Amino acid sequence: MRLFSPRHSSYDSAFPSFAALTTKIRDRFSADRTVVLWLGVWWLCNLLQAAASELANDEAYYHLFAERLAWGYFDHPPVTALLVRLGGGLLGGEIGVRWCFTLLQPLYLYILWRLIRPAEATRRDGSLFAMLSAATLMLQLYGFIAVPDGPLMMTATLFLLTFKWFSERRRLAWLWMGIALALMAYSKYHGALVLLFALAANPRLLRRPDLYSSGTVAALLLVPHLLWQYQHDWASLAYHLAGRNARFRLSYVTDFAANMLVVFNPLYVPIYIRAWRKTQPDDAVRRALKLFPAAFIGFFLLSACRGYVQPQWVIVASLGLVYVAFDYARRHPRTRRYMMRAGWATLGIVALVRLEMIFNPLGLQFEVFDNRTTYAAIAREAAGRPVIFGGNYAVAAKYRFYTGGEAYCQPDIRYRTHQWQFRDDDSRFIGREVLVETPRHAPGDTLVRTQSLALANGKEFTWLIDPAWHPVRLIDIEFDGVPRRVTPGEELHLRLRLTNPYDYPIEIGEDCELAMLWKSGRYEVAEFALPVQLTLAPRSTTEAETAFRVPATLAGTRCDAGFALRREGYKHWFNGKPQQTKVENR
């Protein structure tokens, strides 16, 4: 007689469910461990790249930000500068500039993985996610360079995590989401689009009162930055909303479309489209992720109608593309095989590009090559004298980074203004002998004091020597007599009020002339010398009157009209605030 029967044992009947549970736990852990492993390998590659590659132009510019920490900067909020400062305090050179940024990518990709991870995730799922992320070309580049897009991606995924908690009505989720919103805003202004599109994908959340409590928290945390903007005449908003505008060019639109086919990996584009159509998200975060690609690309495609759009501005769309491609490919074995094979091919190309960025065996001339040699050559010519660069804010910043020499960058009316306008370096050079970068003189020019030097980066540096530097940048010119609308041929009676904050007089006449500027778009400027001769006494205000007849060449344009003091060979910008004016057609 059998006293014990395994078939009817209560212990044995429970054993299969226990085995299934342990298998499920093991599989889940294995999927997460796989993702962590590959993100760790990727981080080591980024760390090597960060140490061995020279700085891009914008990285040197943000290093300039980090020299003087503030609650805001001309064209960006402060998080990028803070991260550069933190990394530079730990390590020197290029790796110090980039250190914190290399840490962000594995963190935000792991958060994304946890947000889209299936409940039954396997090691194959972990490998697929890692491959889709690594083969997204935009994520490769912005995984190690020190630019605001890394902090934006980090804070955007933190926002999505808190957005998930908020949609699930977790306790205090509104508070954490408000903090995440503020962090996004402090990282890059495009964070506003992340919030807008997330709510557009989940309009029912607009009915919840605690959503507005979250917004209040974000607004309170942003008060220091808003105060900085107020104190600096809302410079960032003016620049991003209007300063980038240019006349419509079809090439802006076509270039943007072509960039979109490349930066997200052209081998994956057909799959992205199919996956986006087939994916049916079942929660608030997934709905937001699905909307991101179409919303970001569509928004900036429209923006391309009013100026050049940089491809990295749509980087948040990559979070959505990774989601839809992962969701689709894991359910379709043939698609998964294709994406893995295409991914390995992409990584092979990426490895070659990364080696080129370090060693440059092809001898390319690009902004990440030959910086030390280039700026050392300029420093030898400067021989300890300050260098006043013209227009290109990044060149002056690179000179400071790679040589430690004194430098300043003059805003260029035919390019743009920048963070240098908030620095006083040019005032500290008063009375000293300086090198001034200037356009190379052509036969017949009166400016014959220039010298030129061929640089290792393939460019040319042309300069003149100013034996006693006396800037005029801070002269403020207020005016009236320019109506909001003018007609060609109309004579304007101008009343000017010129304020000289310097401790030296400024002669306006032959060497330093007063000009009226009509700037339409980003690059088009018409300049007209005015017959004004006077002396601006030190620390005084002088009034003057003159007349100007609106030329027919300005007909049909909308301009920023203002005044500048200009000197031959020197760059200039508006002295004082310009005024928007429409020149009517005849």
Distance separating alpha carbons of residues 22 and 288, to the nearest angstrom: 33
How many domains is the chain built from?
3
Query: 188 lies in which domain range?
Result: 23-359
Q: Are 480 and 401 found together in one domain? A: no
Spatial CA neighbour of 242 closest among 538, 521, 541: 521
Report the pLDDT value the prediction gives residue 278, as an integer from 0 to 100.
Answer: 95
Whether residue 16 lies inside any domain: the answer is: no
Q: Are 427 and 484 found together in one domain? A: no
Whether residue 18 lies inside any domain: the answer is: no
Report the pLDDT value the prediction gives residue 533, as an integer from 0 to 100.
Answer: 93
Domain boundary among 439, 466, 493: 466
Whether residue 2 lies inside any domain: the answer is: no
Q: Are 405 and 488 found together in one domain? A: no
Whether residue 545 lies inside any domain: the answer is: yes
Q: Are 187 and 270 found together in one domain? A: yes
Q: Are 389 and 444 found together in one domain? A: yes
Q: Are 489 and 455 found together in one domain? A: no
Report the pLDDT value the prediction gives residue 458, as an integer from 0 to 100.
Answer: 92
Whether residue 437 lies inside any domain: the answer is: yes
Using alpha carbons, list the distances in angstroms from residue 38 to 35, 75, 117, 325, 581.
Answer: 5, 35, 16, 18, 56
Whether residue 158 lies inside any domain: the answer is: yes
| Cα Rg of the chain (Å, integer) | 29
Whether residue 80 lies inside any domain: the answer is: yes
Query: Domain holding 521: CATH number?
Result: 2.60.40.770
Per-residue pLDDT of the chain (586 residues; tens, 9 = 90+): 444 444 444 444 444 565 566 566 555 568 999 999 999 999 999 999 999 999 999 999 999 999 999 999 999 999 999 999 999 999 999 999 999 999 999 999 999 999 999 999 999 999 999 999 999 999 998 999 999 999 999 999 999 999 999 999 999 999 999 999 999 999 999 999 999 999 999 999 999 999 999 999 999 999 999 999 999 999 998 888 776 777 788 999 999 999 999 999 999 999 999 999 999 999 999 999 999 999 999 999 999 988 889 999 999 999 999 999 999 999 999 999 999 999 999 999 999 999 999 999 999 989 999 999 999 999 999 999 999 998 789 999 999 999 999 999 999 998 888 999 999 999 999 999 999 999 866 545 555 578 999 999 999 999 999 999 999 999 999 999 999 999 999 999 999 999 999 999 999 987 899 999 999 877 789 999 999 999 999 999 999 999 999 999 999 899 999 999 999 999 999 999 999 999 998 6
Q: Are 354 and 379 found together in one domain? A: no
Whether residue 6 lies inside any domain: the answer is: no
Q: Are 116 and 243 found together in one domain? A: yes
Distance separating alpha carbons of residues 31 and 26, to the nearest angstrom: 9
Report the pLDDT value the prediction gives residue 10, as an integer from 0 to 100.
Answer: 45
